[in-house]
Structure 1
Amino acid sequence: MTGTCPVAFFLSDSTGITAETLGNTLITQFPEQDFERHTVPFIITVERARQVAARIDAVAAAGRMPVVFSTVVDPVIRDVLAGSQGFFVDLFGTHLPQLEAALHARANLRPGRAHGLVDATRYQSRMAAVEYAMEHDDGQSVRALERADLILIAPSRCGKTPTTMYLALQHGIRVANFPLVDEDFERRALPAPVAPHTGKCFGLTSQPLRLSQVRQERRPATVYASLAQCSWELRNAEELYALNSIPHVNSASMSVEEISATILERMELDEADHEQAGRIR
């Protein structure tokens, strides 16, 4: 990308995930600005910091506006980066002194704690949830469904799998997902393995045109992807949800993060509760 668009740098002494997430959250509030984005992880030496600062200065010298989002915790490295010609947004340093004052404690300023193996139990809980999700994706397995925290059901291509994996990886929630197919709609009943666990079910729907477009990418010019078939499936899915008092959401215009947050709230799922349950088992 070239031109005069601003350039966003996400700088970190670890993976850069936190800097990206927080920085992107801020710049999305300026939709008229077409940002070029660069993530620079593992800035753990002064020399590396100087190289990154020079890169930022080069962008500024070219007449473009560098906006720098940093989660670097080492004050020496942070000062080098802050001395660049970019507009520096210190996502950690700005707030740590305030938090230290409130807690009457000193931050230990160790890099990588947000996404490192700081809490082994929490990490293992998430990995177990991911393994569970992979085994139970798209109705592949009905083993140990009683251990599921959540069962997602929906017609094909409504977003079950990405939502399942996001909930597992980000929140440690054990999720199984099942497709709703013609046979279920004709019987006006949930898939047999799911029926005993209705209280754990959450449904996804979509918009017929959107679903048809998604399916056309997978199987173009088929009945499966036709607008008529998509409309019929979505209509019947909503009837099944109503018949079984299953909460649901239309995923057509929602990100996986928004879908997941909606599910967590409406199903009253809490990551800490499930980590504790995992320790007890």
Structure 2
Amino acid sequence: MEMKVRRQVGSFLIKCLDSCTYFLKTYCLTMAVRQRLFLVLLCIIITGSFFKEFLPLPDSYLNNKRNFLNVYFVKLAWSWTFWLLLPFIAITTFYLTRNPKKVLLRLSTLLVGTVIWYICTRFFMLIENLTGSCHTSEALQDLKIEHENKKACVMDGGVWYGFDISGHSFLLPYCILMIVEEAAVVHELKLQRNQYIHIIVNTLFVALGVLALIWIWMFFCTAIYFHDIYQKLFGTAFGLLAWYGTYQSWYLHPLSPGLPPQGTYLKSKQQRYRL
């Protein structure tokens, strides 16, 4: 009896997983959505910044930097994206190519993403240090000229005021677009329903879909609550350029990590982007 109940529960969970996969693949990962997603992200940051500047919303849990999603997800955004994409890329690439070298080559996209994340965040910190000054309070009075960088200023109890390019506005769009590019490979997979790989791939795919939705939501919260418009626009521009420079330019060439394994569906995507 207990074994029968477990099978029924397992069957129900698999059906729910298949339904979520079908919904995400059919309605959220279409060619039209993927081709226009960067425009949607631009609209979010511009519209949200407008409200932030001219129609500010009252304080809420969402603009508390200690809120759950910000502390446990956004501050670890690249880690979440990296560790979910790693098994997804490895499994789907090997399933479609049966080529370990191709798997390693495709996984190098995560190394490229890590390098981009590291360089951009360090560059943002450099700009903030070069353009900033230390103050005793957020009122920007009583300049502390003895501190030359943000770290020393904060350690001394001061407030550093400089051009703080929004790291969230950079990283969240980049992660969203990277997830969408890599997840598109599900259109090429023909998995048998009873295979364990079917369950594993669908679980990872749904997890990536949920993660992308969280990133979109937190990107919207960043737009309406944090930073000024120029800091957010610069951050978003870096994120979009990182995506365009890799998936829409470099990865189309042979000497690159390449795009996900391509059948008819993804080849049509590549051809459209080249037009």
**TM-score for both structures, normalised by structure 2:** 0.23
Structure with greater strand share of residues:
1
TM-score (normalised: structure 1) = 0.23
Rg (Cα) greater in structure: 1
The structure whose RCO (Cα within 8 Å, separation 6+) is larger is 2
